[in-house]
C-alpha cells in the first residue's frame, strides 16, 4: 500500500465523512503518486480500462489528476480533473527474456499500431475518457489546465510553454525539440470513448471498443506467458483470472 493521508475524525464527523463520495475521502492520490488504500481505490471503469491499455503499450500513467486554481475572491478550488496523463519513452515495451538477453532472443510483446507511435520521440498523452460519445470537456481547452498538465509531466521548457499550449488548443498535437542528448517529445490530446476513431477538431479519438479489443487480444495472445503471473492491475487481473479459470 502506498502512502496516503490518514484522517482522524470523531463521532458525527465520521458519519458525514463516510457518506461523502469516495473521491472526497481519498485526497487525490494520483496527483502525487502516493497510492490509495485498496478498499477506497475507486476509479471510473472507462478510465481503468484506458490506464490498463496504455500500461500494456509501455506508458507510465497518472489518472484522475486534479487541477486546482486560486479563486478571485480568495481560496482554492478544483476546476477539473484530467482522466489520464501518460508518458512513453521511444523504445519502451514489455519483453520476456528467452536465451541470451537481447533483441535477438527476447520475446517482445506487441504494441497497438492505432497509437501511431514514433521511434524518435517521447510520447505524451493528455487524455479524456468517456463511456459515451468520445469528446473533450471544455476545460481541456483551457490554458491553465494544459499548463498544469504539462508542468506535471515536465517535458516543456518554460520558454516554450505558451506556444506549445496554443498549438495543443489549435491542433491537439505538437512536438517539442529535445535538449542535447535527449529525445524530442510529441504531445497529443486524445479522447477515448464511443464512436469511430480518427481526427476531430483539435484532437484525436481512439474508440473504447478498440481499446477493449486490444486488451482482450493481448491477454489471449500471451496467455501462456502470463499464466504464472498474478496481475495487480484490477482490469487485467480480473480478465486474466477468468482465463485461468476457463
Q: What integer pLDDT is reported at residue 26 of this predicted model?
A: 41
Q: What integer pLDDT is reported at residue 246 of this predicted model?
A: 77
Are the C-beta atoms of 205 and 134 separated by less than 8 Å? Answer: yes
- Give the residue from 50, 85, 64, 59 showing the smallest Cα distance to 208: 50
- Give the residue from 114, 118, 94, 137 showing the smallest Cα distance to 187: 118
Q: What integer pLDDT is reported at residue 102 of this predicted model?
A: 78
Enter the C-alpha cell of residue 32: 502525487
Q: How far is CA 31 from the centre of its chain?
A: 12
What string of pLDDT tens digits covers the 246 residues of the chain? 333 333 334 444 444 434 444 443 344 444 444 444 444 456 899 999 999 999 999 999 999 999 999 999 899 999 999 999 999 999 898 999 988 877 778 899 999 999 999 999 999 999 999 999 999 999 999 999 999 999 999 999 999 999 999 999 999 999 998 776 678 999 999 999 999 999 888 899 999 999 999 999 999 999 999 888 888 898 998 898 888 787
Q: What integer pLDDT is reported at residue 244 of this predicted model?
A: 79
- Give the residue from 31, 40, 29, 42 showing the smallest Cα distance to 3: 29
pTM of the model: 0.81
- Rounded Cα–Cα distance for residues 114 and 27 (Å): 34
Q: What integer pLDDT is reported at residue 41 of this predicted model?
A: 53
Beta-carbon-side half-sphere exposure of residue 204 (alpha carbons within 13 Å): 15
- Give the residue from 51, 205, 24 showing the smallest Cα distance to 114: 205
Q: What integer pLDDT is reported at residue 181 of this predicted model?
A: 62
Strand partners, 17: none
- Give the residue from 122, 125, 170, 128 showing the smallest Cα distance to 150: 125
**3-state per-residue secondary structure call for 1-57:** CCCCCCCCCCHHHHHHHHCCCHHHHCCCHHHHCCCCCHHHCCCCHHHHHHHHHHHHC
Q: What integer pLDDT is reported at residue 99 of this predicted model?
A: 82
Amino acid at each position: 500500500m502506498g502512502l496516503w493521508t490518514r484522517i482522524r475524525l470523531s463521532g458525527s464527523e465520521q458519519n458525514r465523512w463516510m457518506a461523502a463520495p469516495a473521491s472526497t475521502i481519498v485526497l487525490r492520490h494520483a496527483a502525487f503518486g502516493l497510492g490509495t488504500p485498496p478498499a477506497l481505490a475507486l476509479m471510473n471503469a472507462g478510465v481503468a480500462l484506458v490506464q490498463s491499455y496504455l500500461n500494456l503499450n509501455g506508458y507510465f500513467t497518472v489518472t484522475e489528476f486534479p487541477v486546482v486554481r486560486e479563486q478571485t475572491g480568495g481560496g482554492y478550488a478544483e476546476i477539473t480533473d484530467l482522466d489520464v496523463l501518460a508518458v512513453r519513452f521511444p523504445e519502451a515495451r514489455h519483453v520476456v527474456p528467452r536465451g541470451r538477453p537481447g533483441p535477438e532472443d527476447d520475446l517482445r510483446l506487441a504494441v497497438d499500431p492505432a497509437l501511431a507511435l514514433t521511434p524518435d520521440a517521447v510520447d505524451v498523452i493528455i487524455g479524456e475518457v468517456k463511456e459515451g460519445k468520445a469528446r473533450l470537456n471544455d476545460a481541456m481547452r483551457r490554458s491553465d489546465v494544459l499548463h498544469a498538465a504539462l508542468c506535471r509531466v515536465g517535458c516543456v521548457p518554460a520558454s516554450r510553454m505558451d506556444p506549445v499550449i496554443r498549438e495543443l488548443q489549435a491542433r491537439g498535437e505538437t512536438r517539442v525539440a529535445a535538449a542535447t542528448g535527449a529525445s524530442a517529445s510529441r504531445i497529443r490530446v486524445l479522447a477515448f470513448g464511443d464512436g469511430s476513431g480518427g481526427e476531430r477538431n483539435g484532437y484525436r479519438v481512439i474508440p473504447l471498443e478498440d481499446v477493449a479489443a486490444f486488451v482482450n487480444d493481448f491477454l489471449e495472445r500471451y496467455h501462456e506467458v502470463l499464466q504464472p503471473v498474478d496481475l495487480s492491475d484490477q482490469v487485467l487481473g480480473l480478465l486474466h483470472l477468468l482465463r485461468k479459470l476457463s
